[in-house]
Amino acid sequence: MTMAQHNKAQSKLGLINEASRADIDRWIAKYPPERKRSAVMGALRVVQDQNKGYLTNELMDAVAEYLDLPPIAVYEVATFYSMYELEAVGKHKICVCTNISCMLRGSDEVVAHLNKRLGIGLGETTNDGRFTLKEVECLGACVDAPMFQIADQYHGKLTPETIDAILDGLD
Ligand code: FES
């Protein structure tokens, strides 16, 4: 096997599907050509969404390859920010803010209600794979505390009743 064939065999680029490439290219286009690496956060988000909400080493390698970055630079970002998942998550990831404003306005009750309703604790996934409960830091929506995020949607001023209505409305 020639070196070129070997490198091709090692390439992970094929793991990024066409739609994701188009999305990543949109991120890349936001930055000057020499700052292509700045698209790493957006690119990780894109491939995470492509892969049912979590990243694998192979996908991170693919992003590194796509952005001409050393894999370690991508791993560092993926492990630093809480929005990236390195293990499988449920279909719906509920990110509950327990930071100061939300705590003062009842995030304990929000968490307790979710624990009771879903039968799981923070950091866990329901057996049917529908829900993952995750504790997160301030999401910048303190004015609506207590709040949580599901997918791209923020839900604020939560009460047990509104939480039930939100979860009932999910597929
Ligand atoms: S403290 Fe919860 S959104 Fe800011």
Q: How far is the CA of 112 from the centre of ligand 1 (A)?
A: 17
Atom of ligand 1 at shortest range from CA of 102: 2
Mean pLDDT of 89-109: 97
Give the residue range(s) of CATH 1.10.10 domains in the chain.
3-80
pLDDT score, position 36? 87
Q: Report d(CA 12, CA 58) in Å as an integer.
A: 6
Mean pLDDT of 76-87: 94
The topology (CATH level 3) of 92-168 is Glutaredoxin (3.40.30)
For residue 131, give every residue at least 6 positions away whose Cβ sits within 8 Å of its Cβ, in sequence order, or none: 90, 91, 92, 93, 94, 118, 120, 125, 167
Give the residue range(s) of CATH 3.40.30.10 domains in the chain.
92-168
Q: How far is the CA of 82 from the centre of ligand 1 (A)?
A: 15
pTM value is: 0.84
Assess if CATH 1.10.287 describes domain 3-80: no
Atom of ligand 1 at shortest range from CA of 139: 3
Q: How far is the CA of 33 from the centre of ligand 1 (A)?
A: 35
